[in-house]
Amino acid sequence: MKHFRYIGWRFLAFVLLLGGLELYLRKFTTYGQLVVTERTERLGWRMVPSQSRWSREGDVPEVINSDGFRDREWDEPEEGEAVFRVAVLGQSMTYGTSVAIEETWPRVLEEKLRADFAARGDAREVLVMNFAVQGYTLEQMVRNHADNVAPFRPDVVIVPLHTGDVAPMPASADEFDFKYRRAWFRTATRDLLNREVVGKWMPRPAPIVDPNAPEPINYQHLLKTNPRDKRAQRLWAQAGGRMDELHRRVDADGGRLALVILPILADLLAPEREDPSAYWGPWASRRSEPSTVPLVKAREEFSQGQELLLRKLIERFGVVERLPLSPTGMRTIPRDVPGADDSLFLYQDVGHYSARGHRLLGEAVFEQLRAAGLWE
Amino acid sequence: MYFNSFEYIFFLWAVYVLYWTLKEKRKLRFSLVLVGSYWFYAQADWRFTFLLFTSTVVDFFAGREIDKANEAGSNARRRAFLILSLVSNLGMLGFFKYYDFFVDSIEAVFESWNLWHLSAAKGGPLDYIVPAGISFYTFQTLSYTIDIYYRRIKPCKSHLEFAVYVAFFPQLVAGPIVRARDFLPQMQKTRKLTRDRISSGLFQILRGMTKKLVIADVLGAHLVDHVYRDAGSLEQSGGLAVLVATYAFTMQLYGDFAGYSDIAIGSARLLGFDLKKNFDAPFKSRSLEEFWTRWHISMSFWFYYYVFAAMGGNKRGIARTCFNLFITHLLSGVWHGAGWNFVLWGVWFGVWMVIVRLVRLLLPNGVMPRKAVFSFLGWLFTYHVCVFSLLFFRANDTESLVAALRALTDWSGPLPDVITTLPWQVWTVLGVSYFTAVWPESWNVRIENGWKRLPGLAQGAVLAAALLFFLGVAPPGLAPFIYFQF
Amino acid sequence: MTEGETKITPDNLQAWLTEKFLEWAEIEAEEFDSNQPFTKYGLDSFGAMTFSTELEDELGFEINARLLWDNPNMDTLAAALAEELKKHQAE
B10 domain-assigned: no
CA distances from B320 to B219, B308, B311 (A): 41, 11, 9
Percent of chain A with pLDDT over 70: 89
CB contacts, 8 Å: A215 with chain B? none
Task: Determine, for residues B289 and C44 on separate chains, whether the beta-carbon distance falls below 8 Å.
Answer: yes
Q: Which of B291, B258, B254 is nearest to B380 (CA)?
A: B291
Which pLDDT does position A105 carry in this prediction?
96
ipTM: 0.80
Query: How many C-beta neighbours within 10 Å does residue B399 have?
Result: 14
The reported pLDDT for the residue numbered A224 is 63
In this predicted model, what pLDDT tens digit does every residue of A304-318 receive, in sequence order?
Answer: 989 989 999 998 888
Query: For residue A18, which of A184, A182, A179 has the smallest C-alpha distance?
Result: A184
Terminal C-alpha separation, chain C: 18
According to the per-residue pLDDT averaged within each range, which of A171-185, A358-372, B63-77 is highest? A358-372
Three-class SS state of A138: helix
> Across residues C29-54, what is the average pLDDT?
77
Instruction: Determine how many CB atoms are found less than 10 A away from the CB of residue B441.
Output: 11
Distance CA A317, CA A265 (A): 12
What does the pLDDT read at residue A173? 47
Lowest-pLDDT range of A59-63, A275-279, B431-435: A275-279
pLDDT of residue A77: 85
**Does the pLDDT value for residue A180 go beyond 80?**
no
**Mean pLDDT of chain A, nearest integer:** 85
Top mean-pLDDT range of A210-219, B347-356, C79-88: B347-356
Calculated CA dihedral for residues A219, A221, A225, A230, nearest 10 degrees? -20
B-C C-beta contacts closer than 8 Å: 52
Of all residues in chain B, the one with the smallest CA distance to C63 is B276
Q: B367 and C72 in contact by Cβ < 8 A?
A: yes
> Within a domain: residue B398?
yes
What average pLDDT score do residues B297-306 get?
90
**Cα–Cα distance, B457 to B194 (Å, whole number):** 16
- Is A336 in contact with A305 (CB distance < 8 Å)? no
Asked if B114 and B183 sit in the same domain, the reply is: yes
Q: Which residue has the higher pLDDT, B25 or A209?
A: B25
- Least CB–CB distance from A203: residue in B17, B423, B467: B423
Same domain? For B173 and B216 the reply is no
Average pLDDT value over all residues in chain B = 86
Residue tagged active-site, from B296, B329, B336, B384: B336
Task: Provide the pLDDT for residue A116.
Answer: 94
Verify that B84 and B160 share a domain, yes or no: yes
Q: Which residue of C has its CA nearest to B304?
A: C46
- Asked, for residue B183, whether it belongs to a domain, the answer is yes
Domain ranges of chain A: 39-175+213-294+356-371
Residue in B6, B192, B399 to test binding to A, most A beta-carbons within 10 Å: B6
Q: What's the rounded mean pLDDT across residues A65-86?
A: 90
Whether C65 sits inside 8 A of B293 (CB atoms) is yes
In a domain, C4, yes or no: no
The 10s digit of each residue's pLDDT in B227-285 is: 998 888 888 888 889 999 999 999 999 999 999 999 999 999 999 999 988 999 999 99
Question: What is the C-alpha separation between A204 and A198, in angstroms, rounded?
Answer: 6
**Whether B222 and B181 share a structural domain:** no
**CA separation for the pair A331, A346 (Å, rounded):** 10
Residue C3 lies in a domain: no
Instruction: Note the pLDDT of residue A207.
Output: 74
For the beta carbon of residue A62, count every other beta carbon within 10 angstroms.
23
For residue C49, give the nearest of B287, B304, B366 by CB distance: B304
Same domain, B258 and B375: yes
CB atoms within 10 A of CB B434: 17
Judged by DSSP in three states, B57 sits in helix
Instruction: Search chain C and give the residue with CA nearest B182.
Output: C57
Q: What CATH homologous superfamily does A39-175+213-294+356-371 map to?
A: SGNH hydrolase (3.40.50.1110)
- Report pLDDT digits (tens) over C60-91: 777 776 677 777 788 888 888 888 888 777 75
Co-location of B53 and B157 in the same domain: yes
Determine, yes or no, domain membership for B306. Answer: no
The predicted structure's pLDDT at residue A214: 59
Q: Identify the pLDDT of residue B479.
A: 58
Question: Do B165 and B201 lie in a common domain?
Answer: no
Residue scoring higher pLDDT (B348 or A322): B348
Report pLDDT for B483. 62
pLDDT at A181: 63
Please check whether residues B114 and B231 belong to one and the same domain.
no
**pLDDT over 90, % of chain B:** 49
Specify whether the CB–CB gap between A332 and A326 falls below 8 A: yes
Q: How many domains does chain B have?
A: 2
The residue from B151, B166, B190 where one domain ends is B190
- Among B158, B190, B222, the domain-final residue is B190
pLDDT at B114: 47
Active site residue B226: no
Q: Which of B190, B206, B227 corresponds to the end of one domain?
A: B190
pLDDT of res. C72? 76
Spell out the residues 6+ positions from residue C45 whose beta carbon is closer than 8 angstroms to its own: B287, B289, B290, B292, B293, C65, C69
Q: What is the pLDDT of residues A231-243, one digit of tens each?
A: 777 888 888 899 9
Average pLDDT of the segment spanning B145-171:
92
To probe the interface with B, which of C24, C44, C54 has the most B CB atoms within 10 Å? C44
Which residues does chain C have within 8 Å of residue B290's beta carbon, measured at their own beta carbons? 45, 69
Choose among A302, A261, A252: nearest CA to A165. A261
* CATH number for the domain harbouring residue C45: 1.10.1200.10
Domain that holds residue B225: 197-287+368-473
Same domain, B166 and B207: no
pLDDT for residue C26: 77
Residue B313 lies in a domain: no
Residue A55 DSSP code: -
Backbone angles phi, psi at A62, to 5 degrees: -130, 105
Task: Evaluate whether residue C8 is within a structural domain.
Answer: no
Please tell me the total count of domains within chain C: 1
pLDDT value at position A203? 82
Residue B7 lies in a domain: no
Which pLDDT belongs to residue B116? 41
The answer to whether residue C37 sits within a structural domain is yes
Q: What is the pLDDT of residue A327?
A: 67
